Amino acid sequence: MFNTLRDAAKIGMGAVWLSRENIRKFTDELIEMGRVSKEEGERLCDEIGESQDEYKNKLNDLVDNAVQKALDTSGLARKSEVEELRQKVAELEMKLKSK
Q: Using CA atoms of 44, 49, 51, 54 in order, give the dihedral in degrees to the nearest 10.
A: -160
Instruction: Report the pLDDT value the prediction gives residue 1, as an integer from 0 to 100.
Output: 42
For the chain, the structural domain boundaries read 2-98
Instruction: Report the pLDDT value the prediction gives residue 15, as an integer from 0 to 100.
Output: 55
Tell me how far CA of residue 36 lies from CA of 12, 15, 43, in angstroms: 25, 21, 10
Instruction: Report the pLDDT value the prediction gives residue 13, as an integer from 0 to 100.
Output: 58
Instruction: Report the pLDDT value the prediction gives residue 90, as an integer from 0 to 100.
Output: 96
19 DSSP assignment: -
> Hey, what amino acid is at 59?
L
Instruction: Report the pLDDT value the prediction gives residue 93, as an integer from 0 to 100.
Output: 96
Instruction: Report the pLDDT value the prediction gives residue 21, as an integer from 0 to 100.
Output: 82
pTM: 0.49
How many angstroms separate the CA atoms of 52 and 99, rounded? 62
Per-residue tens of pLDDT for the chain, all 99 residues:
445 545 555 555 555 566 778 888 888 998 899 988 999 888 888 888 887 888 888 888 888 888 888 878 888 888 899 999 999 999 999 999 997
Instruction: Report the pLDDT value the prediction gives residue 59, as an integer from 0 to 100.
Output: 81
Contact 54, 91 (CB under 8 A): no
In terms of Cα–Cα distance, which of 72, 66, 68 is closest to 8?
A: 66
